[in-house]
Chains A and B, each alone.
Chain A
Amino acid sequence: MLVAGRRGSLLLALAALLVAALPLFASNYHLQLASTALVAAMFALSLQLVVGGAGMVSLGHAAFFGIGAYAIHLLPAGISIALTLPAAMALAAIAALAVGALSLRTRGFFFLMTTLAFGQMLFFVFHDTPLGGGKDGVFITRPALELFGLAWEIPRRQRAAAMLWINLGLLAAMYVGLALLMRTLFGRALLGIRGNEDRMRALGYDTRTVKLAAFVLAGALAGVAGHCQAMTEAFVTPEMLAWHHGAEALLMILLGGLGALHGPILGAFAYVGLGEASTLITERQRLVEGLVILAVVLALPRGLAGIGRGWRR
Chain B
Amino acid sequence: MLEIRAGTATAVLPRRRLASLAAGAAVAAALPRPARAQGAPLRVGLMLPFSGTFAALGENIAAAIELHLAERGGRMGGRPLQIIRLDDESNPANAVQNANRLVGRDRAEVLIGTVHSGVVMALVQISRERGIPLIIPNAGNVAATRELCAPSIFRSSFSNWQPAYGMGLALGRQGVKRAAWITWDYAAGNEAGEGFRQGLAAGGGEVVRELKLPFPETNFQPLLAQIPGLNVEAVGSFFAGGGAVQFVREYAAAGLKERIPLCGSGFLTEGVLGPQGAAAEGIRTALHYGDGLDSPKNTAFREAFKARTTRDADVYAVQGYDAAQMLAAGLEAVRGDLGAEAAFVRAIREARIDSPRGAFTLSPSHNPVQNIYLREAKGGQNRVVGIAAEALADPGTGCRMPA
Q: Do A and B bind each other?
A: yes
Interface residue SS majority, chain A: helix
Q: Beyond A240-B93, A283-B50, is A234–B101 a contact (Cβ under 8 Å)?
A: no
Q: Are A233 and B185 in contact (CB under 8 A)?
A: no
- A-side contacts of B91, CB under 8 Å: 239
Stretch of B8-16, B39-47, B168-176, B376-384 lying at the A interface: B8-16
For the complex, give the distance between the alpha carbons of A61 and B118 in Å: 22
Q: Beyond A128-B214, A135-B186, is A285–B105 a contact (Cβ under 8 Å)?
A: no
Smallest beta-carbon distance B121→chain A, Å: 6
- In the assembled complex, B258 has its CB within 8 A of some CB on chain A: no
Q: Are B187 and A136 in contact (CB under 8 A)?
A: yes
Q: Are A139 and B121 in contact (CB under 8 A)?
A: yes
For the complex, give the distance between the alpha carbons of A124 and B213 in Å: 12
Stretch of A16-24, A27-35, A105-113, A217-225 lying at the B interface: A27-35
For the complex, give the distance between the alpha carbons of A61 and B117 in Å: 26
- In the assembled complex, A279 has its CB within 8 A of some CB on chain B: yes
- Contacting residues of chain A (83-101) with chain B, CB-CB under 8 angstroms: none
Q: Are A235 and B104 in contact (CB under 8 A)?
A: no
For the complex, give the distance between the alpha carbons of A29 and B104 in Å: 5
For the complex, give the distance between the alpha carbons of A279 and B15 in Å: 7
From the candidates B12, B13, B93, B101, name the one contacting A279 in the complex (CB within 8 A): B101
Closest Cβ neighbor of A280 among chain B residues: B16
Q: Are A283 and B118 in contact (CB under 8 A)?
A: no
- A-side contacts of B124, CB under 8 Å: 139
Closest Cβ neighbor of B148 among chain A residues: A139
Q: Are A156 and B104 in contact (CB under 8 A)?
A: no
- B-side contacts of A29, CB under 8 Å: 100-101, 103-105
Q: Are A239 and B92 in contact (CB under 8 A)?
A: yes
For the complex, give the distance between the alpha carbons of A279 and B106 in Å: 13
Q: Beyond A136-B92, A139-B148, A235-B96, is A128–B186 a contact (Cβ under 8 Å)?
A: yes
Q: Beyond A29-B104, A32-B100, A136-B141, is A283–B51 a contact (Cβ under 8 Å)?
A: yes
Interface size class of B (residues with CB under 8 A): 20 to 34
Closest Cβ neighbor of B15 among chain A residues: A283
Q: Which of A29, A156, A240, A280 has the most CB of B within 10 A?
A: A29
- Contacting residues of chain B (209-244) with chain A, CB-CB under 8 angstroms: 214-215
Binary contact readout A212-242 vs B (1 if CB under 8 angstroms, 0 otherwise): 0000000000000000000001110111101
Q: Beyond A36-B97, A283-B14, is A135–B104 a contact (Cβ under 8 Å)?
A: no
Q: Are A136 and B96 in contact (CB under 8 A)?
A: no
- B-side contacts of A282, CB under 8 Å: 14-15
Closest Cβ neighbor of A281 among chain B residues: B15
From the candidates B16, B92, B214, name the one contacting A124 in the complex (CB within 8 A): B214
For the complex, give the distance between the alpha carbons of A234 and B129 in Å: 11
Q: Are A32 and B97 in contact (CB under 8 A)?
A: yes
- B-side contacts of A156, CB under 8 Å: 129
Q: Across the A-B interface, how many residue pairs have beta carbons closer than 8 Å?
A: 83
- Contacting residues of chain B (81-107) with chain A, CB-CB under 8 angstroms: 87, 89, 91-93, 95-97, 100-101, 103-105
- In the assembled complex, B122 has its CB within 8 A of some CB on chain A: yes
Smallest beta-carbon distance B401→chain A, Å: 18
Q: Beyond A29-B104, A32-B100, is A136–B117 a contact (Cβ under 8 Å)?
A: yes
- In the assembled complex, A312 has its CB within 8 A of some CB on chain B: no
- B-side contacts of A27, CB under 8 Å: 104-105
Smallest beta-carbon distance A87→chain B, Å: 22
For the complex, give the distance between the alpha carbons of A235 and B96 in Å: 8
Smallest beta-carbon distance A36→chain B, Å: 6
Q: Are B15 and A137 in contact (CB under 8 A)?
A: no
For the complex, give the distance between the alpha carbons of A124 and B186 in Å: 11
Smallest beta-carbon distance A93→chain B, Å: 23
Smallest beta-carbon distance A62→chain B, Å: 10
Q: Are B125 and A235 in contact (CB under 8 A)?
A: yes
Q: Are B129 and A239 in contact (CB under 8 A)?
A: no
Q: Beyond A279-B16, A279-B101, is A137–B214 a contact (Cβ under 8 Å)?
A: no
Binary contact readout B42-66 vs A (1 if CB under 8 angstroms, 0 otherwise): 0000000011000000000000000
- A-side contacts of B87, CB under 8 Å: 283
- B-side contacts of A284, CB under 8 Å: 51
Binary contact readout A27-59 vs B (1 if CB under 8 angstroms, 0 otherwise): 111001100100000000000000000000000
Q: Are B14 and A137 in contact (CB under 8 A)?
A: no
For the complex, give the distance between the alpha carbons of A282 and B89 in Å: 13
From the candidates A33, A124, A136, A240, name the one contacting B121 in the complex (CB within 8 A): A136
Smallest beta-carbon distance A280→chain B, Å: 7
Binary contact readout A263-306 vs B (1 if CB under 8 angstroms, 0 otherwise): 00000000000000001101111000000000000000000000
Point out residues on A near B: beta carbons under 8 Å.
Answer: 27-29, 32-33, 36, 124, 127-128, 134-139, 156, 233-235, 237-240, 242, 245, 279-280, 282-285
CB pairs A–B below 8 angstroms (11 shown): A28-B104, A127-B215, A128-B185, A136-B118, A136-B141, A136-B186, A233-B96, A234-B96, A235-B125, A237-B93, A283-B12
Point out residues on B near A: beta carbons under 8 Å.
Answer: 12-16, 50-51, 87, 89, 91-93, 95-97, 100-101, 103-105, 117-118, 121-122, 124-125, 129, 141, 148, 185-187, 214-215
- 7 closest Cβ pairs, A-B complex: A29-B104, A283-B15, A239-B93, A136-B118, A233-B96, A237-B92, A134-B187
New contact pairs (5) apart from A135-B187, A156-B129, A237-B118, CB-CB < 8 Å: A139-B148, A283-B12, A283-B13, A283-B87, A285-B89
